[in-house]
Homo-oligomer: A and B are copies of this chain.
């Protein structure tokens, strides 16, 4: 039976996540994987969960297992509202912050609409925008080439200001001000994706973009990195008229977020367990970041550079021009090391000499053999590339 005729016009724009495709085929525990964006399992409050479940059922009774409000359970919205200093009416709970991205796409984007984003862009966001057939453009190319030409402006600017996935970079105060200025000038919204903000290992926190432009910013938060990703819980803070449409849309998506999970997250936060766990998580990840940076310094050949992330889960590696991390990937995987090729995060598939490296998930014991292996593959690729270039030059000279 041929099913293709049944699919909607959006389906050809659905992209598979290369990261998730890797996970489908490879046992991550058998190799040295820097590929995923997974938190470290040691940060999960394993011991606390059964007690949390029992406490929540005692405190909230059968409400904890019943359908809940589409906006999220009021208790969790209140705890978040207090933590971030906003009214409860400006908080919508989402079933993962990926759902936050998806619901913003659904409520704001039509085919052909423009979304501005700083390259490289988080894959899950790129997938979602493209699945609604939006055009995702870099901010600079838009300003240089498109702005002022006929046609509507962008619907929103998408940014991860704190510890960007995939680059690990943090926007300066000036860069944040520039985004706000630009959004006001273009009269568009800002989707501020902020799953890592609480994971800062060095440097000083800067204001969120939402704090700088609350009237036009949807701020997406996540419990995945401060509680556990298995709960699939996130939130959106934003202006009420926007949340009102997101609320109506969310009725169709899944009626309400998981209720027992919401109460457990609520109890985890309200009791202070979240902050205690977060403090330990930060110590853990800071050590891993520092270890990865020192290993890169020790093993990587000249010509390789990387970002120094002040927080989050990733750093970004740039190899010498001409080295293709997509081509290198199969070789790396069979040798026993995984990463994500950087070009996947570029709207135009460029920057084939870059890669995203995750330092949160891998066993620390595997980090040194993993980086050493990767460095040897890079060194080999550089040698091979240089040989190739020399050969081509010789042939060129021979011909002349």
Is A11 an interface position by the 8 A CB rule? Answer: yes
- Categorize the interface residue count of chain A: 35 or more
Which chain B positions have C-beta within 8 A of A252?
14, 98, 101-102, 105, 124, 127-128, 131
- Whole-angstrom distance between the Cβ of A98 and the nearest chain B Cβ: 5
The complex places the Cα of A241 from the Cα of B4 at a distance, in Å, of: 9
Which chain B positions have C-beta within 8 A of A311?
none
Which chain B positions have C-beta within 8 A of A248?
14-16
Which of A43-51, A199-207, A286-294, A327-335 makes up part of the contact surface? Answer: A43-51
Given contacts A106-B10, A254-B96, contact A23 B260 (CB under 8 A): no
Q: Give 9 nearest A-B pairs by CB, closest first.
A: A230-B259, A41-B62, A65-B228, A50-B54, A65-B230, A96-B254, A53-B53, A44-B65, A128-B252
A67-B224, A95-B95, A230-B260 given; name 11 further pairs at CB < 8 Å: A7-B245, A14-B245, A15-B248, A20-B70, A20-B251, A41-B62, A44-B65, A49-B53, A65-B229, A232-B256, A232-B259
Could you list which residues of chain A lie within 8 angstroms of chain B, going by C-beta atoms? 1, 3, 6-11, 14-17, 20, 23-24, 36, 38-39, 41, 44, 46, 49-51, 53-54, 57, 61-62, 64-70, 95-96, 98-99, 101-102, 105-110, 113, 124, 127-128, 131-132, 155-156, 188-189, 215-216, 224, 228-232, 239, 241-242, 245, 248-249, 251-261
